[in-house]
Structure 1
Amino acid sequence: MSKVKQQIHHKKDELQKLHAPVELEGRLRQKLSKQPKRQQKRSGKVWRSVAAGIIVSLLIGYNYQSLAYYGKKITGYDHVTSDTLQHLNDLGMGQTVNKSITFEDNVTFTIDGVIVDDNQLVMFYTLESPQSIEDHPQYDHFPNKLTGFLTNSLHESGVGEISEDGRVMKGTHSYEPPNGFAKKLTAEFFDTNKTLTFSYDPAKAMGHSIKQSINEQVVLEEGSLTFKTITASPTLTVISGTGTKALIDNIDFGQLKLVSNGEEISQFGSGYSTNITGTTFEIKYDALPTDVDQTNIELHLPNNQVIEIYTE
């Protein structure tokens, strides 16, 4: 068995052996703002009184290599998170934070906790407003990025649920993963110079189960796409690649289906970023199932082409 396969089996065994601790319980929303040269195509769950998020490209890879058991559950998010995040949260994979900031308009933003792996940092938060957030959307403060040691993690997506009285919102925001040496992270907000700094333990981040090259080119009528890499982590599966901006800007990535052991994996969205080196795209899917001994991953294209990405 190869080293990669051994690592995957090891990760699966660790996840399957985890049990939720006896004492459990901790807490998304997003206000879209301008993001230059970034676009999104997104589908997924919509909650009552909810704000859906923006996906931006992840251009830097991180490798934490550790799978930690925190023994804490961030409570109050059962109706807001995806099934995958809720499962990880139930296992106690969240790192509690419980740090708050109060703005000039008396709105309080609390970071209840985070879950981190190689693909993203997910922030669980509570927003408390003196008046209805729906009637006064200016009260909806949210961090547009996280900074720290060698870290400038941009906001990628967000979703949340507002209470019946309209004054409390619970939800999650996701960001690019922080640097593996950052021990403090600072949340920077839109519309204010105030920041919120909290302690963070990078050694307790989850890593990845699969991270490898694809390097498959697909020729379409409008041009060609090159699928470069796949990174599968406990929270997310990300496929990245390159192509011309004109093609990427118009292609419907929602038609690209990721299949693992015959089961289609839900797609969360896609995005791209253009710079002097070209245009890079990313397609995000739910986490791969971990309860199987063998893993076969395929990418199904609209023209009936199938790319075999990984076979264990």
Structure 2
Amino acid sequence: MKTIEENLEEYKQTLSRVQAPSGLEGRLRDALQRVPTKKRNMNKAVAWISSAVAALILMVGVYEYPALAYYFNKVNFSALSFAEVMEQGYGQKVNKSMTLRDGTVLTIHGVIADDNVFRMYYTIDRPAGIEYTDDDFVRYSFERVQGFLTHSKSLGGGGKPGTDKSQFIGDNEFEPVSPFARSLTLIFSEWLDNGEKVTYPISFDFEANKAMKSIIKEDLSESIVVDKGKILYDSITASPTSTIVKGHYELEEYPRFSGETKLYVNGIEVRRTRAGGHNPDFELKFDPFPTDNIQSIELVLENFEGYHKINEPISLSSSSDRSIKVGDEKLWIRSVTKTDTGYDIVIARKQFTFLEKDNLSIQAGGNVVPVSSISKERPWDLNNGNIMWEQTYSFNTTDKPEFLLVDGFQYIKTYNKKISIPVDK
């Protein structure tokens, strides 16, 4: 893989070669002249013209990113205050404050932007003598950041108490913002004591030349086959603040759990910080790469939802409270008990193992009897550090159950399948 200096030189050469498309200036002039003159909203017209001119300036290649010169392996932004980030030579100072109705002051100290997230550093100072409490985490919220070509939703954040109990120091992340924006507006909301929600906009200049582009941004076309389909990894974007892997599922049904995908750079595991997405898409967020000297990048699907088909009936003739090996898992037949309406069978299994319920039945007296009801799951402590989960399955029959009939079960299956991402060296 190329060094950062080589990448920077390529960016510089690319920018120097960027030219506006032939005839763009004339088409832009004609478009501006066609803006209706009668009863037009002058503010909207001015804003449209300003945006068009800004876009033209960007397209002819004078827009540069001087903050690209960094070694992101040396800075873990998630662990630093904004003052410490500035000491490293990164970020943009904002220092913009807004006073709420009760005298609380929100101050935006600075921001960092890259292809993965927009991070804002702030403090909230309650009025003198009023402590910042846990209730304030619900009282205040960051909704979005908006601007030219930007409508970035909040992704959450964290923080800690400040110099006294009236102050909270935090950072909040948003979806990436457009580098074309020249100003941004934070939409901040507060729930008042009377239940009313109030929103406050706070605008500030955005200096995109202090934003940081990604070192690695690669489209992928890699997939891993699992029991009920496959997992496709679509892209990886590594920036100074984080590494994001995006993909989607092609499965018979949406999984109950996302499993564990690990990222390794030069054989070093990169810590995963978040997993999310909306069916069928998923997004995995990791820490920044540990080094800029990239020799290898690997994604490893350690485990994921699996399915085991049960082809043989499970005998219920032996004594209760016994374990049965089924595929890679164990089921426990805890008890088979006669009731006023039939028989109850208590079955225990691991937390993320689920028996198929559609065709679950028993064989009793030569007949197949479907399950009539299933209780809620409840913990079963083995007193050895392990906790299983059990449920009661009820069957309406006067004949003693002989076999349990079930199509199969879903469980967390170990895959350990690896994808190697090509690295340019």
TM-score surpassing 0.5? yes
1:241 and 1:176 map into 2 onto residues whose CA distance is 17
CA contact (8 A) 1:214 1:230 kept: yes
What code does the residue aligned with 1:258 have? L
Q: Structure 1 residues 176 and 7, CA, compared in 2 at 3 Å: closer, same or farther?
A: farther
Contact 1:65/1:206 (<8 A) preserved: no
User: Post-superposition shift, 1:273?
Assistant: 2.6
Report if the CA contact (8 A) 1:84-1:235 is conserved: no
1:266 paired residue number: 271
Offset, 1:269: 0.6
Match of 2:421 among 286, 306, 309: 309
**Partner Cα distance (2:160, 2:271) in 1:** 21
| Equivalence for 2:72 | none
Q: Which moved more, 1:160-169 or 1:261-270?
A: 160-169
Query: Would you say 1:192 and 2:198 are equivalent positions?
Result: yes
Q: CA deviation at 1:224?
A: 1.9
Residue 266 of structure 1: how far off its partner (Å):
1.1
Task: Please identify the structure whose Cα radius of gyration is greater.
Answer: 2
Deviation at 1:309? 1.7
* Structure-to-structure mapping, 1:1-312, within 5 angstroms: 5-6=1-2, 8-11=4-7, 66-68=65-67, 81-82=78-79, 89-130=86-127, 131-134=130-133, 136-137=135-136, 140-163=139-162, 165-190=164-189, 191-243=197-249, 246-248=253-255, 250-252=257-259, 255-274=260-279, 279-292=280-293, 294-302=294-302, 303-312=415-424
> 3-state SS of the aligned residue for 1:311?
coil
The separation in 2 between residues aligned to 1:301 and 1:84, in whole angstroms, is 34
Asked whether the 8 Å contact 1:8–1:210 carries over to 2, the reply is no
Give the 3-state SS of the residue equivalent to 1:268 in structure 2. Answer: strand
Q: Over the residues paired in the alignment, what is the CA RMSD in angstroms?
A: 3.1
Distance 1:309 1:89, change over 3 A: farther
Aligned equivalent of 2:51: none
In structure 1, stretches of 5+ residues that fail to align are: 14-63, 71-77
CA offsets per residue over residues 167-211 of structure 1, 9 Å max, x none? 101011011111121111000022323210000011221101111
* Offset of residue 138 of structure 1: 6.6
Change (3 A) 1:309 1:243: same
| 1:142 positional shift | 3.2
In 1: Cα distance, 2:125 partner to 2:278 partner: 34
- The farther-off stretch of 131-140 and 265-274 is 131-140
Q: Extract unaligned runs of 5+ from structure 2.
A: 10-62, 70-74, 190-196, 303-414
The alignment covers a number of residue pairs equal to: 245
Relative to total residues, which structure has the larger strand share, 1 or 2?
2
Name which structure has the greater RCO, CA cutoff 8 Å, separation 6+: 1
SS in 2 for 1:68: helix
| Paired residues of 1:114 and 1:122 also in contact (CA < 8 A) | yes
Over the matched positions of the two proteins, sequence identity in percent amounts to 32
- Distance in 1 of aligned mates of 2:64 and 2:3: 10
- Deviation string for 1:36-71 (max 9, x for gaps)? xxxxxxxxxxxxxxxxxxxxxxxxxxxx9735179x
Structure 2 Cα separation of the partners of residues 287 and 125 of structure 1? 22
Change (3 A) 1:68 1:196: same
Contact 1:122 1:173 (C-alpha < 8 Å) held by counterparts: yes
SS of equivalent residue, structure 2 residue 140? coil
